[in-house]
């Protein structure tokens, strides 16, 4: 092993919609984590793997920390907080356009308790506010926690992101390469495909629908026509939500399927036949047995 090789784990934590998934995709250069303007888009911690000839950084994109109203919400917040303990560096990301909020204080209180991890403050979306406001915002947070680094960035357009990655390397220990050169995530293909479908539901539906659904890939197989046939299931909580997802004469479901298929074909590099069904499973977000079946458990 190259004696100068450095590797380690970095978790990204913050309130919903601060740009964690956008930053992960920007660093990796691929779409690892789905993005939408709806809160609670990320539900499971997702690892993105950044590899260069002398460095490997395993990034963990966590669900946005919020006040949970369901058992699913409890799982999401707890999974985010748990990632703080087993990493080398914590990236605490805040939205410059929103400023300090109560949810930030909850996270800051957790950061204060850390003993061995390095902690960076990332001020995201700095392009949306006046430079003078950035300094005031930095002061607000640095009065509460002694951060190792403070970095203003724009995750969307990449401003200061290379600087962030270079700084991270300096804080990582000498270590092995955990994943192969061509691996960019630890997530299964089925998980990635289900997330691409869920992203389209988030994009095309409103109100409570995005939070009440879960997507699963039930089967994948290559047929004689050289197409991959994918059978997927959208689970929602009420019959009225099922009606909205299907839409008049099935138009909404066709739209979701059509747009998801485009992204799936791009990911797989081949033609796909995508079949989507919708099923009602009442109050699934508060049922421990179903949450476990759907992959929301400590064993995930």
pLDDT tens-place string over residues 109-143: 999 998 899 999 999 998 888 888 889 999 999 99
- Are 167 and 33 found together in one domain? yes
Residue 189 host element (H or E): helix 189-204
The DSSP symbol for 127 reads G
- Are 31 and 96 found together in one domain? yes
**Rounded mean pLDDT of 23-45?**
81
Checking if the pLDDT of 229 tops 90, the result is: yes
**Rounded mean pLDDT of 14-40?**
85
pTM of the complete model = 0.86
* pLDDT of res. 70: 82
- Are 242 and 284 found together in one domain? yes
- Of 36 and 99, the structure prediction assigns the larger pLDDT to 99
Residues 6+ positions from 54 with CB-CB distance below 8 Å: 2, 4, 5, 6
- Are 159 and 233 found together in one domain? no
- Are 158 and 196 found together in one domain? no
Q: Examine residue 177 and state whether it is found in any structural domain, yes or no.
A: no
Checking if the pLDDT of 204 tops 60, the result is: yes
> What CATH code is carried by the domain that includes residue 152?
3.40.50.300
Q: Which of 197, 193, 198 is nearest to 210 (CA)?
A: 198
Q: Examine residue 178 and state whether it is found in any structural domain, yes or no.
A: no
Checking if the pLDDT of 2 tops 70, the result is: no
**Rounded mean pLDDT of 248-252?**
95
Domain that holds residue 284: 189-293
**Rounded mean pLDDT of 55-66?**
88
Task: Enumerate long-range contacts of 185-189, CB under 8 Å, 24 or more apart.
Answer: 185/28, 185/32, 185/46, 185/47, 185/48, 185/49, 186/47, 186/49, 186/58, 187/32, 187/46, 187/47, 189/220
Task: Enumerate long-range contacts of 261-267, CB under 8 Å, 24 or more apart.
Answer: 263/31, 263/196, 263/199, 263/200, 264/193, 264/196, 264/197, 264/230, 267/31, 267/192, 267/193, 267/196
- Are 239 and 148 found together in one domain? no
Q: Examine residue 179 and state whether it is found in any structural domain, yes or no.
A: no
The DSSP symbol for 87 reads -
Domain boundary among 171, 198, 225: 171
* Local confidence band at 299 (pLDDT 50, 70, 90 cut-offs): very low
Distances (CA, A) of 107 to 15, 67, 76, 133, 177: 9, 12, 14, 22, 30
- Are 17 and 52 found together in one domain? yes
Q: Examine residue 56 and state whether it is found in any structural domain, yes or no.
A: yes
* Local confidence band at 294 (pLDDT 50, 70, 90 cut-offs): confident
Q: Cβ(24)–Cβ(59) under 8 Å? A: yes
Q: What is the mean pLDDT of the chain?
A: 89
Domain boundary among 171, 201, 235: 171
- Are 110 and 195 found together in one domain? no
> What CATH code is carried by the domain that includes residue 204?
3.30.300.20
Q: What percent of the chain stands above pLDDT 90? A: 61
- Are 157 and 215 found together in one domain? no
Checking if the pLDDT of 206 tops 90, the result is: no
Q: Examine residue 78 and state whether it is found in any structural domain, yes or no.
A: yes
Residues 106 and 66: their CA atoms lie apart, in Å, by 9
Number of domains within the chain: 2
- Are 132 and 197 found together in one domain? no
Residue 288 host element (H or E): helix 288-293
Backbone angles phi, psi at 30, to 5 degrees: -140, 165
- Of 43 and 146, the structure prediction assigns the larger pLDDT to 146
Residues 190 and 180: their CA atoms lie apart, in Å, by 20
- Are 162 and 193 found together in one domain? no
* Local confidence band at 249 (pLDDT 50, 70, 90 cut-offs): very high
- Are 90 and 230 found together in one domain? no
């Amino acid at each position: 092993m190259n004696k100068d090789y450095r590797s380690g784990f970095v978790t990204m934590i913050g309130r919903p919609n601060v740009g964690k998934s956008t930053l992960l995709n920007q660093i990796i250069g691929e779409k690892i984590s789905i993005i939408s303007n709806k809160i609670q888009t990320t539900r499971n911690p997702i690892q993105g793997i950044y590899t260069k000839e002398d460095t490997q950084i395993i990034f963990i994109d966590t669900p946005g920390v919020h006040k949970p109203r369901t058992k699913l919400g409890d799982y999401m917040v707890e999974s985010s907080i748990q990632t703080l303990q087993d990493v080398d560096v914590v990236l605490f990301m805040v939205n410059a356009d929103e400023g300090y909020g109560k949810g930030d204080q909850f996270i800051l209180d957790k950061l204060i308790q850390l003993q061995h991890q390095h902690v960076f403050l990332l001020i995201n979306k700095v392009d949306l506010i006046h430079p003078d406001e950035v300094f005031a915002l930095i002061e607000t947070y640095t009065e509460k926690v002694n951060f190792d680094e403070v970095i203003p960035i724009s995750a969307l357009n990449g401003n200061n992101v290379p600087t962030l990655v270079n700084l991270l390397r300096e804080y990582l220990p000498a270590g092995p390469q955990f994943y192969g050169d061509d691996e960019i995530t630890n997530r299964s293909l089925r998980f990635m495909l289900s997330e691409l479908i869920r992203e389209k539901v988030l994009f095309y539906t409103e109100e409570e629908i995005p939070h009440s659904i879960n997507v699963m890939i039930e089967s994948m197989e290559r047929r004689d026509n050289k197409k991959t046939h994918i059978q997927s299931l959208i689970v929602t909580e009420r019959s009225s939500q099922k009606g909205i997802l299907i839409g008049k004469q099935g138009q909404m479901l066709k739209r979701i399927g059509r747009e998801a298929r485009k992204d799936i074909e791009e990911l797989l590099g081949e033609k796909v036949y995508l079949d989507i069904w919708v099923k009602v499973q009442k109050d699934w977000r508060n049922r421990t047995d179903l949450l476990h079946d759907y992959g929301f458990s400590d064993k995930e």
